[in-house]
Amino acid sequence: MFSGGSYDEVARWLWNFAEAHAKRESPRVEAVVDTSGAREGVSYGLQLRLGEARVPPAPLELPYEDVREGRGNIAWCQALAVRVRALAREPLAAERRTA
């Protein structure tokens, strides 16, 4: 379905995808996609944020080529969705433990 896409287009797709799946766990969880520094044009750093908490502590490194090609693959998207939703549950669980 998707073949190609500029680095910025794929970054927007990744943010939308991660944001949508994170919000299925809680509307307060937000996706953060880092494209700066050494990552620019090469990879993306993906984290989720709930308040000041960020998960994972070090961003997931997703190579641009993998995301560009994977976004058209249902199995790849499903695996990433499962991973994002699991990450989104982490700060929510920590929040419940401290409440």
Between CA 18 and CA 22 the distance in angstroms is 6
Distances in Å between the Cα of 82 and the Cα atoms of 33, 35, 41, 76 are 17, 22, 26, 10
Dihedral sign computed on CA atoms, order 12, 33, 76, 74: negative
| DSSP assignment letter at 38 | G
What is the structure's pLDDT at 99?
64
Q: What is residue 92's predicted lDDT score, i.e. its pLDDT?
A: 77
pLDDT at 64: 97
What would the pLDDT profile of 33-78 be if each residue is shown by its tens digit? 999 999 999 999 999 999 888 999 999 999 999 999 999 999 999 9
* pTM exceeds 0.85, yes or no: yes
pLDDT on residue 95: 67
